[in-house]
């Protein structure tokens, strides 16, 4: 894969202090981009950034930002510009999971899932969109999920946000058409990250299974490749979508799911 095209590009990855976001950040930096990691947890963002070996001529920055807060998102984009340059590649990745049956799901938690994983990406897109179009180049990569294409019991807010962001991806792609800016979503299957590990106990409760049965019965049983994915495999897809070679790909929702979902 040619990655030269990411040289001197500026990448901003939200939720970049952990899991998939960190893997995407590492891969974009290795591919030559300047890198800003934004996360709600400032210390975690700083230490995550330090785990990525320095490369000559490439800048790195850690930014504190809460993706459920409009002003915080606008400050994040402005700080990225001040620290390492105007955003060329925006990765809307920050997210969290909440497992509960509809009857037991607090509306406030449903709202928070939507705020962080749908409204936040919209506001971040809004904050970078005009300058990307003016400069004639940009990549917006939204991290959806296979739960953006299929429902899963006990994940009402999460599935709603992840379906919604595919709609946002398509509209963004349409509004950017012929401007040099593309927008795509990646739909990962189950990836081995804290987000997946931390939900096993709640899934066990909801499905009335023993915790050790959940991985096999609720998750792997549906995955043709029968494995949890590595975060770096999602990172590779993000680098490709950010590259010059992906210029014709826009408005897509691409599964990286070990065959779990095929549409």
Does the protein bind ligand NAD through residue 26 (CB under 6 A)? no
Does the protein bind ligand NAD through residue 96 (CB under 6 A)? yes
Of 92-100, 128-136, 209-217, 245-253, the segment contacting ligand NAD by CB under 6 A is 92-100
**Token pair 């709640």 in the structure block, residue:** 202
Does the protein bind ligand NAD through residue 191 (CB under 6 A)? yes
Q: Considering the complex, state which of residue 154 and residue 190 has its C-beta at the smaller distance from ligand NAD.
A: 190
| 158 in active site | yes
Q: For residue 141, which of 21, 17, 32, 2 has the smallest C-alpha distance? A: 21
Catalytic residue among 29, 154, 158, 260: 158
Q: How far is the CB of 91 from ligand NAD (least distance, A)?
A: 10
> Which residues pair with residue 11 across a beta bridge?
35, 89
Q: Considering the complex, state which of residue 7 and residue 226 has its C-beta at the smaller distance from ligand NAD.
A: 226
Residues 39-68 that bind ligand NAD (CB under 6 A): 39-41, 44, 65-68
Residue 132 and residue 88 in contact, taking contact as beta carbons nearer than 8 Å? yes
In DSSP notation, 106-164 reads -HHHHHHHHIIIIIHHHHHHHHHHHHHHHHT-EEEEEE--GGGTS--TTBHHHHHHHHH
Of 14-22, 82-90, 177-185, 201-209, the segment contacting ligand NAD by CB under 6 A is 14-22
Q: Considering the complex, state which of residue 147 and residue 182 has its C-beta at the smaller distance from ligand NAD.
A: 147
Q: How many whole angstroms from its chain centre is CA 148?
A: 13
- Give the burial string for 157-183 (b: 16+ CB within 10 Å, else e): bbbbbbbbbbebbbebbeebeeeebbb
The DSSP call for residue 228 is P
Q: How many residues bind ligand NAD (CB under 6 A)?
A: 30
Q: Considering the complex, state which of residue 166 and residue 196 has its C-beta at the smaller distance from ligand NAD.
A: 196
Q: How far is the CB of 29 from ligand NAD (least distance, A)?
A: 17
CA atoms within 13 A of residue 121's CA, in its CB half-sphere: 30
Does the protein bind ligand NAD through residue 142 (CB under 6 A)? no
H/E run at residue 187 = strand 181-188
Catalytic residues: 158
Interface with ligand NAD (CB under 6 A): 14-15, 17-21, 39-41, 44, 65-68, 93-96, 116-117, 143, 145, 188, 190-191, 193-196
């Amino acid at each position: 894969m040619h990655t030269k095209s990411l040289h001197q590009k500026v990448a901003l990855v939200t939720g970049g202090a952990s899991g998939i976001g960190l893997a995407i950040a590492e891969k974009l930096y290795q591919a030559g981009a300047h890198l800003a990691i934004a996360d709600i947890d400032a210390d975690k963002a700083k230490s995550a950034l330090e785990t990525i070996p320095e490369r000559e001529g490439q800048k790195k920055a850690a930014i504190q930002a809460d993706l459920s807060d409009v002003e915080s998102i606008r400050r994040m984009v402005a700080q990225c510009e001040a620290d390492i340059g105007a955003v060329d590649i925006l990765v809307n990745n920050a997210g969290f999971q909440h497992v509960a049956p509809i009857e037991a799901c607090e509306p406030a938690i449903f709202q928070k899932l939507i705020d962080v994983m749908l409204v936040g990406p919209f506001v971040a897109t809004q904050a970078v969109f005009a300058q990307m179009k003016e400069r004639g180049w940009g990549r917006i990569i939204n991290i959806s999920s296979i739960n953006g294409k299929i429902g899963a019991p006990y994940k009402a807010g999460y599935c709603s946000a992840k379906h919604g962001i595919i709609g946002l991806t398509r509209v963004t792609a349409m509004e950017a058409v012929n401007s040099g800016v593309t927008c795509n979503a990646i739909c990962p299957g189950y990836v081995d990250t804290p987000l997946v590990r931390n939900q096993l106990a709640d899934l066990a409760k909801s499905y009335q299974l023993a915790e050790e049965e959940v991985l096999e019965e609720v998750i792997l049983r549906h995955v043709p490749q029968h494995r949890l994915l590595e975060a770096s495999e999602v990172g590779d897809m993000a680098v490709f979508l950010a590259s010059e070679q992906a210029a014709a790909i826009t408005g897509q929702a691409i599964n990286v799911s070990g065959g779990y979902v095929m549409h």
